[in-house]
A and B are shown apart, each in its own frame.
Chain A
Amino acid sequence: MSDEPNKGLQSPLRRKLLMGAAALPLVSILPRPSFGAGPATATVNTTGLAVTDTEVTVGILHSATGTMAISETGSIQAEKLAIEQINAAGGVLGRKIKFIQEDGASDWPTFAEKAKKLLVNDKVAAIMGCWTSASRKAVLPVVEQYNGMLYYPTFYEGLEQSKNVIYTGQEATQQILAGLNWIAKEKGAKSFFFIGSDYIWPRTSNKIARKHVENVLKGKVVGEEYYALGSTQFNSVINKIKLTKPDVIFTDVVGGSNVAFYKQLKAAGVDLSKQALLTISVTEDEIDGIGGENIAGAYACMKYFQSLDNANNKTFVPAFKKMWGEKTVIGDVTQAGYLGPWLWKLTCEKAGSFDVDKIAAASPGVEFKEAPEGYVRIHENHHLWSKTRVGRAKLDGQFELIFETADLIEPDPFPKGYQ
């Protein structure tokens, strides 16, 4: 626990947040908090961003339509919740956050176009957005060229670092290594079978996992297979799994393919309570589609589960459900999306400015003690310090926390010895 500061109700910000959250139902009745008491616009905005005496504009850029909409909706919801809570608690530097939502339409060039629109036309102070690596890669040159600030919520492959991006999800080593260590120790696992979707994130993640298995755990990778995005035929690889009998199946299959994979796995008689399976791509959101009965017993390696038992999460989950419905589930990326607006607000207040350069410089060291996942802090490389957790899927679609690292894990987007 060395890195974890003393949490608790004595933190003034935490109290503010709690009050803000508690006041949410009252927002419609009470007069809205008055804005405009902050520092003068000329001092907090020297670069012509969309900041007035009472308002500051940010962009939300996710896919509301297309194949990715099902995954990205959670992030949109979390970001809107965070913005509403921040406004209820007095806004940022005395200004109310107004957001402009754009649809990336699951199409990477559209993401680039809309990011440009948000930065050039709307002059937004920050963008909360992107989900897939492909959309981030498309948007990155735009935010760098026009000097914007992007808060990116998804766990991703690493190998990237930008002044203009804060990565609120975990990079590959943060997500994978501790999970592999745990399963190797817990299950005495020596042989691993990798299955992934065929694009950059699974390939990079598996490369890192393979190096770790071979060099650190002294185990063996007995198979490594990739399937096209959206693929639904996994029978041949399931046969190979049955032949090679690996100690652990390690998967990073994404999106709708998951549904087919776990159903076929179950139909082929692979019992996940006996065959260890560790996934880095299934959150509560995906289980909604897969069905709890098809995946119960599998282990997932994440930094957040909806079932986390801490005080922050106990206020976050009800607030989220209150805003978006009792049936919504909250996955790892949704929680990371929620961090974006809060981290931005805290950074603005630390920097005393909305200027992107000042925010980029002030980001390292910013800590968010009310994060549903516990506590996070921004590293010099603009990624977050966070814990790795392993959960076991239950029949009801939730995860039961099995293991968490004692300390926060340092983000290392360019890991030495793993490239």
Chain B
Amino acid sequence: MIITSRFFNRSELIGFVALALVLVVILPLSLDVFRLNLVAKYLTYAFVAIGLVLCWGYGGILSLGQGVFFGLGGYCMAMFLKLEASSVENTKIQSTPGIPDFMDWNQITALPLFWQPFHSLTFTVLAIILVPGLFALIIGTAMFKRRVGGTYFAIITQAVAAILTILIVGQQGYTGGINGMTDLRTLKGWDIRPDHAKIILYFFEVFLLFGCIFIAQFIRLTKLGRILVAMREQEDRVRFSGYSVANFKIFAFCMAAIFAAIGGAMFALNVGFMSPSFVGIVPSIEMVIYTAVGGRMSIFGAVWGALLVNFAKTGLSESFPQLWLFGLGALFIAVVLAFPNGLSGIWADYVQPRIDRLLALRKSKSGSPWAGNSVADGAPAE
């Protein structure tokens, strides 16, 4: 087994530099704040997509319920922000001032117990990581220990997404129901709505995104990453070799959940909004589509996939308000038919060879310095 000594091989380094250039330099310089804020929204899905690369692309666990974790992270953040926005002076028009407006509409007269800790930012940050993490641990343990996998697991994650949506919509006094939590204003007294705040939040998000990319890359490169791939290809052999397959799967699933939750929390901050429409089955499937379009084996591809699909969504819907859904559907079909490995497939098949040739011409006969392209980059088994 070859483990590259470098953290990124050359092709990944190019990918990293290109992404960093686009996100840190090109987009902020070329877009106005409104569009940049939209990019920030798109990037929140990139967190989910990176998690799915780990869990689906490498671990072979297809989760159609990532919206659950995105939603849990987002709701934790939104609860903190909503409490801050619901100060007594902001809500004096209500029958019970000092509680979120939707509670007042639902005749709740005191802040429920489980809302109380969300007055603290420290607790909130911990909750964003731990609540979805623990939830994924419970689902994962319950499923993988019993060797439920494949399609059945995908169906169960869908069911969880549906249940959570119904729960949020039904308990509207505690969650804001179908309206969600709107009108989020400040973070520790810092107004998150004006333009300069949007720019700061954008860069903070890009910073976190690269953090997640590094973590995912690190997991991929360690022995753990190899076991995940081995598991995807031949689960029984890994089990017979003495590894606990279930534990590895649970780990990958939890990581994906935590990434999704970070994305959700950033969503609430950037958009100032959280609603059950990000929790259900449809958004969860959309998240899988981002990963598929980007190429499910590629961490960078996931980010590009999330950006491309969302750019297309916004662009098409602004140009053709009545017909845009058809255009988006056509785009998906085209990508899946023509490029089954997604954007990263296009890169690997068309762009990378040219770059290689160019470099090879310059450094003729110096051998192939990155011959040991990692095993994990192999084509999917299906």
| Residues of chain A at the chain B interface (Cβ within 8 Å) | 64-65, 101-103, 105, 107-110, 112-114, 116-117, 120-121, 133-134, 137-138, 140-141, 145, 157, 159, 198-200, 203-204, 207, 228-229, 414, 419
Contact = CB atoms under 8 A, between A and B. Distances in A.
B169 A113 contact: no
Contacts of A65: 322, 324-325
A198 B106 CA distance: 11
Interface string B314-340: 100110011011000000000000000
B324 A103 contact: yes
Interface stretch (B223-231, B234-242, B272-280, B351-359): B272-280
Closest 7 CB pairs of A and B: A103-B321, A134-B179, A120-B34, A141-B183, A137-B182, A199-B178, A64-B322
Contacts, number: 92
Interface string B198-218: 000000000000000000000
A116 B34 CA distance: 8
B182 A229 contact: no
Contacts of A112: 271-273
B193 interface: yes
Contacts of A204: 105
Contacts of B322: 64-65, 103
Contacts of B324: 65, 103
A400 B32 CA distance: 54
Contacts of A419: 95
A198 B177 contact: yes
Given A103-B324, A198-B169, A113 B38 contact: yes
Nearest to A136: B179
A159 B278 CA distance: 26
Nearest to A197: B178
Given A103-B322, A108-B277, A117 B178 contact: no
Contact of A199 (B177, B318, B325): B177
B5 interface: no
Contact of B105 (A113, A121, A141, A203): A203
Contacts of B122: none
Given A198-B172, A203-B106, 12 more contacts: A64-B321, A65-B322, A108-B273, A109-B277, A109-B278, A120-B32, A134-B179, A138-B273, A157-B105, A199-B178, A200-B178, A228-B169
Contact of A134 (B166, B183, B275): B275
B332 to A, nearest CB: 16
Interface residues of B, number: 35
A141 B272 contact: yes
B93 interface: yes
B273 A134 contact: no
Nearest to A109: B273
Contacts of B170: 198, 228
Nearest to B102: A200
Nearest to B194: A145
A107 B102 CA distance: 19
B182 A113 contact: no
A108 B180 contact: yes
B271 A133 contact: no
A210 to B, nearest CB: 11
A414 B93 contact: yes
B202 to A, nearest CB: 15
A419 B101 CA distance: 13
B82 interface: no
Given A198-B169, A198-B170, A229 B277 contact: no
A284 B329 CA distance: 33
Contacts of A138: 179-180, 182, 273, 275
B222 to A, nearest CB: 37
Contacts of A64: 321-322
Nearest to A157: B105
Contacts of B318: 102, 117
B41 interface: yes
Contacts of A110: 317
A229 B183 contact: no
A102 B179 contact: no
A157 B314 CA distance: 31
A73 to B, nearest CB: 10
Given A159-B105, A200-B102, A204-B105, A108 B321 contact: no
Most buried by A among B102, B178, B271, B278: B178
A121 B34 contact: yes
A110 B310 CA distance: 12
Nearest to A62: B321
A137 B101 CA distance: 11
A145 B32 CA distance: 17
Contacts of B93: 414
B217 to A, nearest CB: 31
B321 A102 contact: yes
Given A101-B321, A109-B277, A140 B183 contact: yes
B107 interface: yes
A13 to B, nearest CB: 32
B84 to A, nearest CB: 14
B325 A229 contact: no
A133 B102 CA distance: 12
Nearest to B85: A141
Given A108-B180, A133-B179, A228 B317 contact: no
A229 B273 contact: no
A127 B317 CA distance: 17
Given A103-B317, A228-B170, A419-B95, A109 B107 contact: no
B105 A200 contact: yes
Contacts of B185: 141
Interface in B244-280: 271-273, 275, 277-278
